[in-house]
Amino acid sequence: MRLSTPTVKIRNTKLGGKNPIAIQSMTNTDTADAQATATQCIELYEAGSELVRITVDNEASAEAVPEIRKILDAKGYKDLPLIGDFHFIGHKLLEKYPQCAKTLDKYRINPGNVGFGKSHDENFEKIIKIAIKNKKPVRIGGNWGSLDQELLTKLMDKNPDEDIRIKTLVKSTLDSAKLAEKLGLKHDKIVLSVKVSDVQELIKAYELLVKKMGRKPYALHLGLTEAGSGLQGIVSSTVALAILLQKGIGDTIRISITPQNNEPRIREVQACKHLLQSLDLRRFQPKIVSCPGCGRTNNALFQKIVKEVNHYVGKNNLEPINIAVMGCVVNGPGESRQADVALHLPGKNEKVSASVYIK
């Protein structure tokens, strides 16, 4: 059963509660280049990213945020939720650029790099107060690559065991959420994440977070951080996220992939859609069942048909029906029985024709 989290509204998108698991992604353009960033935001949104995050890492990028919004609105993307990703100097940028703070629909901060000692609490308070003033939700996104070193040392001295990094990550994220609430940020304005780059550790981290949140859980963002590139990145993320989602953990997901060979940024959005559709958590397009083909079929013809069906489905906005394309009579009729539309080829040495099934 899905964890009962509050609904967090980000512009007109809702995540948490009973809302569908939301897909999100992040641009990799220089945010200071408002035109390029707005263009990529649109590409990601059009591909299915319901939330789009941009890095706000310096004054030029903070200054560009209202301009990005202007371009998005002018192009008809008034609903596209824009999230600002802050590290180290978020408190300074949000204070110095009030239009940036006002324009963004959500802030993402990392409790591990807001500052140290007394300045950590002051900087954190500054960000939370700005979020409250502008009525913005905040993701408190812990990452074991940037752990709160003071807390890590303290916990290590107290209890040096192998899970100490996970415990520190969870404690630092939860302590920050509680502090944010103490400062006045509403429970339904907070999203949490505890990202690590190892599949097993990620599962442990989220399970511990869920246990520690107890009866009043926060909305959760899932993602395997620094997942890698290509197939490896997609498979690792999918495995980790699928296990958590199956346990009812997670309200929004991101699959981060290091792009290679001009791979389009939208690949991570496509991967999220396939993941959610495979788990039957959401349906975006027809589901295509096709066998791998083997020595029993005319593989050249079979692969051509599968390619054409995939191409057709990808290019057209179709009802989310079930389609089967099968190589021969071994499993063809059986799979066709489950599908809305199906075809299967005969055996390799039989006359080339295909049985087509409707419903």
Distance CA 195, CA 244 (A): 13
Distance CA 24, CA 9 (A): 14
60 lines the binding site for ligand SF4 (CB under 6 A): no
Interacting residues with ligand SF4 between 278 and 317 (CB under 6 A): 291-294, 296-297
What is the signed CA dihedral for 244, 245, 249, 252, rounded to 10 degrees?
120
CB of 296 to ligand SF4, least distance (A): 4
Q: What is the largest CA-CA distance in the chain?
A: 79
First vs last C-alpha separation in the chain: 31
Interacting residues with ligand SF4 between 150 and 169 (CB under 6 A): none
Q: Which is nearer to ligand SF4, 263 or 308 (CB)?
A: 308
Sign of the CA dihedral running 42, 46, 47, 53: positive
Choose which of 208, 326, 339, 342 interacts with ligand SF4 (CB under 6 A): 326
Distance CA 326, CA 78 (A): 43
337 lines the binding site for ligand SF4 (CB under 6 A): no
Q: Which is nearer to ligand SF4, 179 or 329 (CB)?
A: 329
78 phi and psi angles, rounded to 5 deg? -65, -25
19 lines the binding site for ligand SF4 (CB under 6 A): no
341 lines the binding site for ligand SF4 (CB under 6 A): no
CB of 240 to ligand SF4, least distance (A): 30
355 lines the binding site for ligand SF4 (CB under 6 A): no
Q: Which residue stretch of 71-79, 193-201, 216-224, 325-333 sits at the interface with ligand SF4 (rule: CB under 6 A)?
A: 325-333
196 phi and psi angles, rounded to 5 deg? -135, 170
Q: Which is nearer to ligand SF4, 210 or 291 (CB)?
A: 291
Q: Which residues contact 77 (CB under 8 A, 6 or more apart)?
A: 41, 42, 45
CB of 298 to ligand SF4, least distance (A): 9
Q: Which residue stretch of 136-144, 164-172, 201-209, 320-328 sits at the interface with ligand SF4 (rule: CB under 6 A)?
A: 320-328
Distance CA 53, CA 33 (A): 15
* Binding residues for ligand SF4 (CB under 6 A): 291-294, 296-297, 326-328, 330-332
